[in-house]
């Protein structure tokens, strides 16, 4: 039976020769991920079930990234619970203040996830690792607890949508514009519990940072996961980085897809998702009448080095518009340090920006950039629901780092090709 890339990975981890869409399976896990918000709940469930050991102390990854350094007493207690659990069970991959990063940027950077893996994480954007040719998906804290104890998780094998990419991206158009364009086409439920499998000659023109961004937001179309083929770009990224041997899975030529979507990358333009859904997309050039109060460049979607490069390209030597607050958050300590080494950090500060150590803070309306009533923010994050970053009357506009940085200079939504 012909299978998609996702189906092949799931079959292998379930010990089956083949699987088909809709089939329920139990699969072995290569990694179980949690953060400072979801892990404490998983720990409670772990202990409630009377589990006393983890299945593999090297395959559990705990990253404190949402509220660190801790913003209040509750956050401090959550982090403390994670620290004590990791110390008790000798968890190898535990990332605390000083060495942490935003989880979905940190794990690929550190080589903790690799091609062919089956990964679950108690965070919806765990689907990011499909960029490396892995099956990865978000789960609840109870499933995380079971995964930590047993090393297994159950899945319903998803149907697949084939996304054929052609051409290459124009100047100042990035992976964020690709995924916003796709979500605008199919809607936030357009891939509900399906696998988004990206293919076509256009894939080769996308950097790893572009692919990580695209897979990160697969969940915003309702997808179970997003996944890219393993090619030279992938192998170059993994070589010397991956902590384990990887395995390459390829979709069969006659694999069945519920739908095929074609996107000509060369035709794309800078795109912005207006409130209050990622599917509400418009071209950046159409938003010049929309004034903004705040800009956020960072997150698990767009806090990687290429995103910092894009912001630097726009902001270097300029000043942000008076009255606009600009917050820039490199996604890992390694990226943060590289920004300092390259002079990006100084340029950002000289432009009038604030630069933070890694945190998810503003993305989920936690801290480091909460919006007041009726304020508007253009952000490189992944969600713009009502009240996502603050007051329920505030508005979040999703965009690429290029577009966000350009808008910081003008004070309104701006096509980055115009600055």
Please list the residues that pair with 272 across neighbouring strands. 282
Does the structure show a pLDDT above 90 at 1? no
- 316 and 244 inside one domain: no
- 218 and 70 inside one domain: yes
278: burial class by Cβ within 10 Å (0-12, 13-18, 19+)?
buried
Of 237, 264, 291, which residue constitutes the final position of a domain?
264
Does the structure show a pLDDT above 90 at 128? yes
- 38 and 87 inside one domain: yes
- 93 and 23 inside one domain: yes
For the chain, the average pLDDT equals: 97
Per-residue confidence (pLDDT) for residue 171, from 0 to 100: 96
- 259 and 277 inside one domain: no
Region 47-65: mean pLDDT is 96
Region 45-60: mean pLDDT is 96
CB 275 within 8 A of CB 176: no
- 181 and 284 inside one domain: no
- 135-163 core/surface letters (b: 16 or more CB in 10 A; e: else): bbbbbebbbbbbbbbebbbebebbbbbbb
**pLDDT tens, residue by residue, 87-127:** 999 999 999 998 889 999 999 999 999 999 999 999 999 99
- 72 and 187 inside one domain: yes
Per-residue confidence (pLDDT) for residue 43, from 0 to 100: 97
Question: Domain containing 36: what range?
Answer: 5-264
E strands present in 265-400: 271-273, 281-283, 294-297, 325-328, 354-355, 376-379, 395-398
Region 40-58: mean pLDDT is 96
| DSSP conformation letters of 139-185 | --HHHHHHHHHHSEEEEEPPEEEEEEEES-PPTT--HHHHHHHHHHH
- 210 and 174 inside one domain: yes
Region 240-248: mean pLDDT is 95
Any idea what the CATH number is for the domain that residue 315 is in?
A: 3.30.499.10
**pLDDT tens, residue by residue, 246-296:** 999 999 999 999 999 999 999 999 999 999 999 999 999 999 999 999 999
- 293 and 385 inside one domain: yes
CB 377 within 8 A of CB 395: yes
CB 159 within 8 A of CB 403: no
Per-residue confidence (pLDDT) for residue 100, from 0 to 100: 87
**pLDDT tens, residue by residue, 340-397:** 999 999 999 999 999 999 999 999 999 999 999 999 999 999 999 999 999 999 999 9
- 336 and 194 inside one domain: no
92: burial class by Cβ within 10 Å (0-12, 13-18, 19+)?
middle
Paired tokens of 2:
């012909």
Of 230, 264, 298, which residue constitutes the final position of a domain?
264
- 116 and 55 inside one domain: yes
CB 117 within 8 A of CB 225: no
* Residue 367 phi, psi dihedral angles, 5° rounding: -170, 180
* Residue 264 phi, psi dihedral angles, 5° rounding: -90, 105
**pLDDT tens, residue by residue, 149-169:** 999 999 999 999 999 999 999
Of 216, 237, 264, which residue constitutes the final position of a domain?
264
Report pTM: 0.95
Distance separating alpha carbons of residues 226 and 217, to the nearest angstrom: 8
Please list the residues that pair with 325 across neighbouring strands. 294
* Residue 56 phi, psi dihedral angles, 5° rounding: -165, 110
Region 398-413: mean pLDDT is 98
Per-residue confidence (pLDDT) for residue 190, from 0 to 100: 93
Domains of the chain: total: 2
Angle, in degrees to the nearest 10, between helices 208-216 and 305-315: 100
**pLDDT tens, residue by residue, 168-200:** 999 999 999 999 999 999 999 999 999 999 999
- 351 and 231 inside one domain: no
Distance separating alpha carbons of residues 216 and 303, to the nearest angstrom: 12
| DSSP conformation letters of 364-414 | TTSSSS-B-TT-EEEESSS---TTTTBSTT-EEEE--HHHHHHHHHHSB--
262: burial class by Cβ within 10 Å (0-12, 13-18, 19+)?
exposed
């Amino acid at each position: 039976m012909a299978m998609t890339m996702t189906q092949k990975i799931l079959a292998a981890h379930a010990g089956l020769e083949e699987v088909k869409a809709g089939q329920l399976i139990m699969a072995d896990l290569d990694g179980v991920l949690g953060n400072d918000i979801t892990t404490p709940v998983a720990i409670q469930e772990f202990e409630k079930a009377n589990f006393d050991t983890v299945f593999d102390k090297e395959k559990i990854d705990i990253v404190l990234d949402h509220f660190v350094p801790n913003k209040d007493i509750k956050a401090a207690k959550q982090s403390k619970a994670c620290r004590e659990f990791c110390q008790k069970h000798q968890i190898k991959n535990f990332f605390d203040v000083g060495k942490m990063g935003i989880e979905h940027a940190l794990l690929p950077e550190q080589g903790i996830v690799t091609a062919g893996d089956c990964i679950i994480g108690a965070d919806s954007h765990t689907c990011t690792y499909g960029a490396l040719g892995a099956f990865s998906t978000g789960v609840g804290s109870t499933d995380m607890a079971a995964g930590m104890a047993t090393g297994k998780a159950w899945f319903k094998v998803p149907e697949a949508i084939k996304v054929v990419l052609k051409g290459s991206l124009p100047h100042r158009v990035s992976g964020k514009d690709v995924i916003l364009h796709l979500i605008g086409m199919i809607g936030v439920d357009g891939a509900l519990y399906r696998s988004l499998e990206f293919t076509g000659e256009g894939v080769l023109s996308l950097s790893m940072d572009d692919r990580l961004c695209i897979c990160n937001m697969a969940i915003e179309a309702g997808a179970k996961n997003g996944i890219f083929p393993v090619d030279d770009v992938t192998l170059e990224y993994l070589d010397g980085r991956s902590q384990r041997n990887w395995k390459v899975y390829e979709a069969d030529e006659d694999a069945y897809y519920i739908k095929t979507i074609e996107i000509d990358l060369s035709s794309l333009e800078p795109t912005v998702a207006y409130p209050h859904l990622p599917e509400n997309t418009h071209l950046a050039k159409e938003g010049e009448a929309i004034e903004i109060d705040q800009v956020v460049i960072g997150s698990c979607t767009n806090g990687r080095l290429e995103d910092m490069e894009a912001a630097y390209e726009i902001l270097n030597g300029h000043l942000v518009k008076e009255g606009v607050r600009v917050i820039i958050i490199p996604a890992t300590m390694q990226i943060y340090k590289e920004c300092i080494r390259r002079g990006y950090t100084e340029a950002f500060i000289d432009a009038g920006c604030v630069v933070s150590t890694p945190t998810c803070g503003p993305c989920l309306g936690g801290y480091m950039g909460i919006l007041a009533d009726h304020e508007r923010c253009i952000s490189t994050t992944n969600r713009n629901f009502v009240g996502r970053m603050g007051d329920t009357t505030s508005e979040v506009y999703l965009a690429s780092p290029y577009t966000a940085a350009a808008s910081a200079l003008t004070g309104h939504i701006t096509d980055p090709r115009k600055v």
